[in-house]
Structure 1
Amino acid sequence: MNYRHHFHAGNFADLVKHAGLLALLTEMTGKGGPLTVIDTHAGAGLYDLGGEMARKSGEAEAGIGRLMAADDAPAALAPLVRAVRRANPGGALRFYPGSPWLTAAALRQGDKLIACELRPEDAQGLKRSLPPAQGLLETVVGDGFATAPARTPAKGACLVLIDPPFERGDDYAQSRRALAGVLARNPAAVVMVWLPLKDLETFDAFLRGIEAGDPPPILVAEARLRPLSDPMKMNGCALVTANPPASLQPVLAEACQWTVSHLGQPGGEARVWRI
């Protein structure tokens, strides 16, 4: 695959995804007992927004750059703003923290992060970039789709983030299988799947596939930056979360609404609902 998140780090989709992830981490680390977090496509951990790939795409400037400069950022995005400031102690916006970086910073003693990454060079960068953590950090160079169900604890609190690049035709099917495998292993696990929104039928087919498997409660959040009229473009993004805590819905509703209203185009729409 040619996908490198360095081109896309800090874009509008990361704002939505990481608002949801941080809300889940706050909720789940606020309870007793250890937490296991599995990140299926961890990436490099910390992204240099001054690098060639980030500057070439301009997506960070149109995403996290706009958020950090905003004077009306909602409460749902405040934890992300604080995390980005921690990742940039010099003050200027130079680095964007990916999902494993955000997770590692939230770990408590007894918690565990299993970060999966196929690219050996990104896995090495991940190990170097993660902040000091109280919990246990483990980097797995391998297939996150297979690792997540295999490493999900049968009991106890577990959060799984499924976030593939969706460049392969089977990433949707693999995401559904990984979701089902995690829940078969631990029916109480919280599983968040990130998806791009290109055309409505592909997204609807993904949801139909999940519903056919008699799933637990599911929360769906969409941030459509423009109408889904051109399937060659990423017109928005969605989060599909199994076993969501009640606190997640208002956070995603607020984060999606701000993202669409500030970063989107006419005809954009924010939607959050339950299956």
Structure 2
Amino acid sequence: MFSYRHAFHAGNHADVLKHAILVQILDYFNRKDAPYWVIDTHAGAGLYALDGEWAGQSGEVVDGLDRLLGAPQPPELVARYLRAVQGFNPDGVANRYPGSPALTLHALRASDKLRLFELHPTEIEVLEDTLRQLDAPRRQVTIAREDGFAGLRRLLPPPTRRGLVLIDPSYEDKQDYRHTLQAVHAGLERFASGCFAVWYPLVQRVQAHEMARALERLPVEWLHATLTVRKPAPDGLGLHGSGMFIINPPWTLREELQAALPWLTRILAQDAHARHTLETSAQRTGPSGTPSPSAKAGLKPRRPAGSPVPAQKRSPSRK
């Protein structure tokens, strides 16, 4: 279970979908003065050097964030996400990629709280170092070295009765699908009004499809978005897309996704099988989207591999 390192995948198409939605939800929460908590069950390392050893080796960012940089007329959901990434690259060059802990910390106000779980022994060390570099207030941010599925229970409901729970394990272990469903069910029993955001991979595993269908049967308000960038590989390996399932979503999210998903499908398409879906508990729409030539795109390109990297390069990590 400790073989997975998200640094290999930092800034890929799945991160684009997940983090663009995360930033939108945080922006919505910030529109009200009432404080809130964010609980991240699988925090990862927090910040990644895109020109470093791990991300540079896989190069997945080329088919993710890099395609957005400079692409014309990004919709607001994407533009907001790109501004958040820009905040970690003040020199204008996209060398660092913020994971969910960094993006959340960047959005939080002084009265809000961030609770992070990370079990990977190396990842949590990097995460702690990352938070020190970002000057995360100790009273605002805590890290627990434990299984986020188990730790989530004791934090719900948050004292503020307002909060977001982000659940995005690696799913390297097939049991993660079952554990995710159990965490959602238990979480809703304790915090029925909470916003729960579940990321999952589109892979050739029956468990992924079964989990998505089980989530859609929940008697709650939900929104389900998927983004497929290519045809599944013949050998069944690899990530051809990803999904985000949001329970008690911001009422503004559906409209923003309706504008953003077709654009993302065009920009991130790797072949003619690229498509997206957007379904809600009230009304469902089917797959759509047609591919178009990808465009290199807002921040400037990253420094070439081998050039000096920022201090945060130490994040060979997860999320």
Tell me which interval the TM-score lies in, with the shorter structure as reference length.
over 0.9
Counterpart residue number, 1:59: 60
Measure the CA separation in 1 of the matches of 2:254 and 2:112: 25
Aligned to 2:71: 70
Structure 2 counterpart of 1:140:
144
Q: CA deviation at 1:251?
A: 2.4
- Return the alpha-carbon distance in structure 2 between the equivalents of residues 239 and 120 of structure 1: 27
The 4+ residue runs of structure 1 with deviation greater than 6 A are none
Q: CA distance change for structure 1 residues 202 and 226 in 2, over 3 Å: closer, same or farther?
A: farther
Report which of the two has the higher share of helix.
Answer: 1
- TM-score normalised per structure 1: 0.93
State the AA in 1 paired with 2:81. L
For residue 229 of structure 1, report the CA deviation from its aligned partner. 6.7
Maintained 8 Å contact 1:19/1:255:
no
For residue 252 of structure 2, the aligned residue among 247, 255, 260 is 247
Does 2:153 correspond to 1:149? yes
Question: Closer, same or farther in 2 for the Cα pair 1:96/1:165, shift >3 Å?
Answer: same
2:163 to 158, 164, 168: 158
Identify the residue that residue 50 of structure 1 maps to in structure 2. 51
Alignment gaps of 5+ in structure 2: 282-319
Q: Of the two structures, which has the highest relative contact order with CA contacts closer than 8 Å and spacing of 6 or more?
A: 2
* Deviation at residue 127 of structure 1 after TM alignment: 2.4
The corresponding residue for 1:176 is 181
Counterpart of 1:113 in 2: which secondary structure?
Answer: strand
Tell me, what secondary structure is at the counterpart of 1:69? coil
Sort the Cα spacing of 1:52 and 1:133 in 2 relative to 1 into closer, same or farther, 3 A.
Answer: closer
Matched residue, 1:15: 16
Partner of residue 29, structure 1: 30
> How big is the shift at 1:201?
4.4
The count of residues paired between Structure 1 and Structure 2 equals 274
Question: Given residue 78 of structure 2, which amino acid in structure 1 is its aligned partner?
Answer: L
Q: Structure 1 stretch 145-154 or stretch 224-233: which is displaced more?
A: 224-233
CA distance in 2, matches of 1:229, 1:209: 25
Q: Which ranges in structure 1 are unaligned for 5 or more consecutive residues? A: none
Partner of 2:295: none
Structure 2 partner of 1:167 = 172
1:253–1:186 CA distance, 2 compared to 1 (3 A): same
Q: Secondary structure at the match of 2:258?
A: helix
Q: CA RMSD in A?
A: 1.9
Q: 2:220 aligns with which of 216, 221, 232?
A: 216
1:85 aligns with 2:86: yes
Q: Which residue of 2 aligns with 1:273?
A: 279
Is contact 1:172-1:206 (8 Å) kept? Answer: yes
Aligned 8 A contact 2:216 2:222 in 1? no
After alignment, is 221-230 or 165-174 more displaced?
A: 221-230
Aligned letter for 1:226? Answer: R
Q: CA deviation at 1:160?
A: 0.4
- Cα distance in 2, alignment partners of residues 122 and 228 from structure 1: 30
CA shift at 1:110, angstroms? 1.7
CA distance in 2, matches of 1:254, 1:152: 33
Structure-2-length-normalised TM-score: 0.81
- Determine what percentage of the aligned residue pairs are the same residue: 38
Distance 1:207 1:6 in 2: 26
Residue 38 of structure 1 and its aligned partner are, at CA, apart by: 0.4
Q: How does 1:108-123 map to 2 (within 5 A)?
A: 108-123=109-124
Following the alignment from structure 2 to structure 1, what is the Cα–Cα distance between the partners of residues 261 and 58? 22
